[in-house]
Amino acid sequence: MADENTPLIQVVQIRPAVPRYSHHSVRRACTLVLAIVPLFVVAAFLLCLALPTPLDGEDGSEWASYLPWAGASISKAWPQTDGLTYEGLQDILTSTPNATKAREWSKYYTAGPHLAGKNLSQAIWTKEKWQEFGISNSLIVDYDIYVNYPKGHRLALLEKDKKTKREESVDTGSKASWSVQYEAGLEEDVLDEDSSSGLSDRIPTFHGYSASGNVTAPYVFVNYGTYKDYEELLAANVSLAGKIALIKYGGIFRGLKIKRAQELGMVGAVIYSDPGDDGEVTKHNGNSTYPKGPAREPSSVQRGSVEFLSIAPGDPTTPGYPSKPGAPRKPVDTILPKIPSIPISYVDALPLLKALNGHGPKASSFNKYWQGGGLDYKGVDYNIGPSPDNLLLNLVNEQEYVITPMWNVIGIINGSLADEVVVLGNHRDAWIAGGAGDPNSGSAAFNEVIRGFGEALKAGWKPLRTIVLASWDGEEYGLIGSTEWVEEYIPWLSASTVAYLNVDVGTTGPHFRAAAAPLLNKALIETVGLVLSPNQTVTNQTVGDVWDGHISTMGSGSDFTAFQDFAGIPCVDMGFSGGPDTAVYHYHSNYDSFDWMDKYGDPGFHYHATIAQVWGLLAAKLVETPVIQLNATEYAKGLAGYLESVKSKALATPGFMGAEDEDWTKKSLFYGLTKSIDRLHNVSVSFDAKAQALTDEIAKDPIPWWKWWQKVRLYYAVRRVNAKYKFLERQFLYAPGLDGRSWFKHVVFAPGIWTGYAGATFPGLVESIENEDRGNAFRWAGIITGLVEKAASSLED
């Protein structure tokens, strides 16, 4: 009977259920798969529409790149530094450079002659030292280059013998006889206090790429031998054709002094260093000369190349392509001098200058750029000449031209990104046994940078971007090692290189100086603020604190030229130098020696270590920050400033336009270019803001591993921004090149055609204005406008 404890629902035993289908488990699994997979595909499709497209060359198809297993091409540590924190890397690159080590490397590099093509032992030592530091992938890359080596020279002041009264009364028809009034020594003094000055194999004084010849002619003092100096001499009716030019060093590249003399029919050139250009530290001002004091050693001679550097650098027989064995060789008529030249000391120049006293106008009667000769206290009046009829100058120059191997040392530190590359370089060759300042202060510092990289690698660091290290040969003759290497590897460099960081002269004094492409200005300024200055007038004073902040425009004269002007790669060239109140630097002289550096240039070698710190930290900023530390707005600002200078030049060139044409010039010639630069500025501000937003996003809390799609999305967004930064400088290349010097492809930067060292901005346009060619000015304004527009478009999405 049922009662209150009886369950309301009874359990009734029935037969077990029989499955409707024989394979119901499989069927159920299939049903689930068919329901879920379409949802996953739709979700993946929508995700791919929302995420950035991978760059060309990335692994995987567009949408597959966002699958969890597709991140193999992305560093596991990204966006953090791999194997070492960024702060840890900075600490190593700051603490490793050591003044004692830098002194050791300087001692090695300056121990003997190391002319281009004659320093294989140094190349091997450098490669092996880098490998010892931990850069295992180091090798020697050679080229066959066309260069000259000195065989002999002579410079003699000849005086016509006076005839006796009997000889004057009887005309015998015989030729006049001449005797030597002064025979130039053409050699630097051997100093007991300077060990390299007395080496038995020291290099004679000569000019690289000078023409052989033996000429005897009157001579003329032509000041610095600038284009304007020669024009002023012609305006003053000073006869130049058939004469030898006596020229002061300074102002412009030495080869261009000779180029213009040659064009005006002069038959030879003699170039000397005038102490009037040595600032306050001169013998006349009471300073003892080297080695007893900081003033110029009177017998010092500046060697150097006289290749026409503003026409094209590199091997003059292979312009635009690498000088490998078997390469076709072209004539050198347009790029090397045809008249002989030699460098001399001011001791050897004194008798020549004194012999001009009273002959021709005085330099003081010309403009301010002719004033300030430093030998007036020695009895020099700085008359122009020509030399009197009873005096002639005999110039003899004997050179041997050969094709010989030269050797670059290249080191590679592979990064996670093979298509984003930062190159660091310094040249190794020198005109003399020493070269403690140029270039081996840079070489010693470079070794310390590389030793720092090696220490970081030992600590587990793997760089984000690939680093290439280059010890160039042949820079002194005409930037040969770097130019030939860039010409050989231009496709890879164009596709991959982010920046080139050059240090030629690491230090010859306490003042920091730099030239840079505007893209790199911000990174450079931030970096010098991280490094303590050896000059601690205030506690914790940085290099940035004592620097005047001036960044020069890129010109030429060092190994950045091929990168900037031929390949369109943004560059920095930096180092420490002297000033008007510091010890005189004996540029390209035997006295650019270890002993001079140790006593006057950088006692204690502290600035060697400091430039190594700046160099290493700047490289780290460009190599390791996820968003490349370039700044497009700085470039746009720079272009606007350069254009204002061009406008001023146009208004100041009477033959180009009259006063009534001012509105025409502003509204017509420059209108389109002004508008395009304004557009680039607006686009750059937006683009830099986008890059900064990505940097800020990365700086937030790390993305958890399970949000893999967010990391991939951010990675490709950064890569797209970086690609635009990387290629921005390339947008300003014009394939046909500049007028009359087609090797130079950059429309914004080039060496001045008549300066060589100093940078010219908008060179095609400026040269058209200087030549008073309105039609060509319009042509170049149009070319530049088109490229600026292209650059602006490249930054837009």
Q: 42 versus 631: which is more confidently predicted? A: 631
Q: What is the pLDDT of residue 240?
A: 98
- Same domain for 510 and 450: yes
The arithmetic mean of pLDDT across residues 231-257, rounded, is 97
Same-domain status, 393 and 411: no
pLDDT digits (tens, 9 = 90+) for 476-488: 999 999 999 999 9
**735, 640: one domain:** yes
Which residues touch 700 (CB under 8 Å, ≥6 apart)? none
Q: Which residue has the tokens 């389109």?
A: 672
Q: How far apart are CA 533 and CA 547, in angstroms?
A: 10
> What does the block give as tokens for 331?
């004539």
50 burial type by CB count under 10 A (0-12 exposed, 13-18 middle, 19+ buried): exposed
Final residue of a structural domain among 584, 602, 624? 624
Q: What is the pLDDT of residues 509-528, one digit of tens each?
A: 999 999 999 999 999 999 99
Going by C-alpha positions, the residue among 337, 147, 340, 341 that lies closest to residue 259 is: 337
Q: Are 407 and 140 within 8 A, CB to CB? A: yes
Classify the phi-psi angles of 502: left when phi > 0, otherwise alpha if psi is within -120 to 50, otherwise beta. beta
Terminal CA-to-CA distance of the chain, rounded, Å?
A: 86
Tell me, yes or no, whether 507 and 604 share the same domain.
yes
Percent of the chain with pLDDT over 70: 90
Measured distance CA(451)–CA(764) in Å, rounded: 43
pLDDT at residue 57, as a whole number? 45
pLDDT band at residue 656, thresholds of 50, 70 and 90?
confident
DSSP summary character for residue 161: P
Tell me the mean pLDDT in the region 329-333.
Answer: 96
- Token pair 């180029």 is found at 259
> What pLDDT does 77 receive?
83
C-alpha to C-alpha distance for 79 and 75, rounded to whole angstroms? 8
Question: Mean pLDDT throughout 389-393?
Answer: 97
Same domain, 502 and 371: no
Half-sphere exposure of 750 (CA within 13 A, CB side): 30
Residue scoring higher pLDDT (63 or 790): 790
Across 13-27, 354-368, 525-539, 703-717, least confident range: 13-27
Residue 463 lies in a domain: yes
Q: In terms of residue numbers, what domain contains 115?
A: 93-146+402-547+574-624
Q: Is the separation of the CB atoms in 112 and 430 below 8 Å?
A: no
For the segment 435-448, what is each residue's pLDDT rounded down to a tens digit?
Answer: 999 999 999 999 99
State mean pLDDT over 764-770.
96
CA distance 525 to 384: 46
Has residue 287 been placed in a domain?
yes
Q: How is the chain split among helix, strand and coil, in percent rounded to 5?
A: 40, 15, 40
408 and 460 fall within a common domain: yes
377 and 475 in a single domain? The answer is no
* CATH code where residue 198 lies: 3.50.30.30
**CA neighbor of 102 nearest in space, from 482, 755, 603:** 603
Q: Is residue 717 part of a domain?
A: yes
Q: How many residues can be counted in the chain?
A: 797
Q: Which residue has the tokens 């370089």?
A: 425
Question: What's the one-letter identity of residue 73?
Answer: S
The 8 Å CB, 24+ separation contacts for 455-458 are: 455/92, 455/96, 455/134, 456/84, 456/89, 456/92, 456/93, 457/134, 457/413, 458/134
User: What per-residue confidence (pLDDT) applies to 14?
Assistant: 58
pLDDT digits 0-9 by tens, 144-193: 999 999 999 999 999 999 875 555 555 555 678 999 999 999 999 999 99
CA distance 103 to 109: 10
642 and 717 fall within a common domain: yes
When pLDDT is cut at 50, 70 and 90, the band that residue 73 belongs to is low
- Asked whether 142 and 403 are in contact (CB, 8 A), the reply is no
Across residues 565-593, what is the average pLDDT?
Answer: 97
Instruction: Quick: pLDDT tens for 583-595.
Output: 999 999 999 999 9
Single residue among 400, 422, 455 that ends a domain in this structure = 400
Give, as one character, the DSSP assignment of residue 255: H
CB atoms within 10 A of CB 120: 15
Q: How confident is the model at residue 176, as a pLDDT?
A: 80
The model carries a pTM of 0.91
Q: How far is residue 324's CA from residue 624's CA, in Å, rounded to a whole number?
A: 35
pLDDT at 412 over 70: yes
Q: How many CB atoms lie within 10 A of CB 127?
A: 19
What is the domain-level CATH number for residue 438? Answer: 3.40.630.10
Residue at which a domain ends, from 400, 417, 433: 400
* Burial (Cβ within 10 Å: 0-12, 13-18, ≥19) of residue 88: middle
- Secondary structure of residue 750 in the 3-state scheme: strand
Q: How far apart are CA 600 and CA 422, in angstroms?
A: 34
> Residue 416: how many CB atoms within 10 A of its CB?
17
Confidence check: pLDDT of 660 > 70:
no
Which residue in 48, 55, 87, 98 sits closest to 74, CA to CA? 55
Q: Is residue 62 part of a domain?
A: no
- Per-residue pLDDT at 64 exceeds 80: no
pLDDT at 80: 87
Residue 290 and residue 201 in one domain: yes
- Please state, rounded to an integer, the average pLDDT across all residues of the chain: 92
Give pLDDT tens digits for 105-152: 999 999 999 999 999 999 999 999 999 999 999 999 999 999 999 999
Which among 448, 412, 544, 480 is positioned nearest to 109, based on CA atoms? 448
DSSP of 637-683: HHHHHHHHHHHHHHHT-TTT--GGGHHHIIIIITHHHHHHHHHHHHH
Residues 609 and 682 in one domain: no
Residue with tokens 């090149």: 737
Burial 354-373 (b: 16+ CB within 10 A, else e): bbbeebbbebeebeeebeeb
From the list 602, 162, 570, the residue with the least C-alpha distance to 391 is 162
> Residue 469 corresponds to which tokens in the numbers above?
């290290």
In this structure, the answer to whether residues 184 and 324 fall within a common structural domain is yes
Residue 499 token pair:
């920046």
Q: pLDDT value at position 36?
A: 80
**Is the model's pLDDT at 66 over the cut of 50?**
no
> pLDDT tens across 612-629, in order?
999 999 999 999 999 999
Which residues pair with residue 710 across a beta bridge?
none
Supply the DSSP symbol for 754.
T
> pLDDT grade, residue 654 (50/70/90)?
confident
Confidence grade of residue 702 (pLDDT, cut at 50, 70, 90):
confident
Question: What is the spatial distance between Cα 761 and Cα 711, in angstroms, rounded to a whole number?
Answer: 42
pLDDT value of residue 165: 57
Phi, psi of 188 (to 5 degrees): -85, 145
User: Domain tally for the chain?
Assistant: 3
- Domain of 641, CATH number, reads 1.20.930.40
Inside any domain, residue 65? no
State the DSSP H helix or E strand holding residue 424, giving kind and residue range, or none if neither: strand 417-427
Preceding amide of 52 cis, omega within 30: no
Q: Is the pLDDT confidence value at 548 over 50?
A: yes
- CB-CB neighbours of 655 under 10 Å: 10
Q: Which of 335, 342, 155, 314 minimizes the C-alpha distance to 259?
A: 335
Residues 147 and 431: their CA atoms lie apart, in Å, by: 13
Q: Are strands 759-761 and 749-751 parallel, antiparallel or unpaired?
A: antiparallel
Asked if 197 contacts 591 with a C-beta cutoff of 8 angstroms, the reply is yes
Express each pLDDT in 458-473 by its tens digit. 999 999 999 999 999 9
How would residue 449 be classed by pLDDT, with cut points 50, 70 and 90?
Answer: very high
Residues 268, 207: Cα–Cα separation, whole Å: 13
- Residue 321 pLDDT greater than 60, yes or no: yes
- Residue at 5 is within a domain: no
Kindly state whether residue 84 falls inside one of the protein's structural domains: no
What gap in Å lies between CA 232 and CA 420, rounded to an integer? 50
Query: Is residue 337 one of the residues assigned to a domain?
Result: yes
Q: Omega of the bond prior to 291 within 30 degrees of 0, cis?
A: yes
Tell me the residue type at 687.
Answer: F
pLDDT single digits (tens) 272-297: 999 999 999 999 999 999 999 999 99
**Dist CA 725 CA 684 (whole Å):** 10
- Please check whether residues 667 and 716 belong to one and the same domain: yes
pLDDT at 174: 64
Residue 533 and residue 374: Cα distance in Å, rounded?
34
**For position 139, what pLDDT does the model report?**
97
CA of residue 430 relative to chain centroid, distance: 17
Q: What residues contact 507, with CB distance under 8 A and at least 6 apart?
A: 437, 441, 445, 575, 576, 577, 601, 602, 607, 608, 610, 611
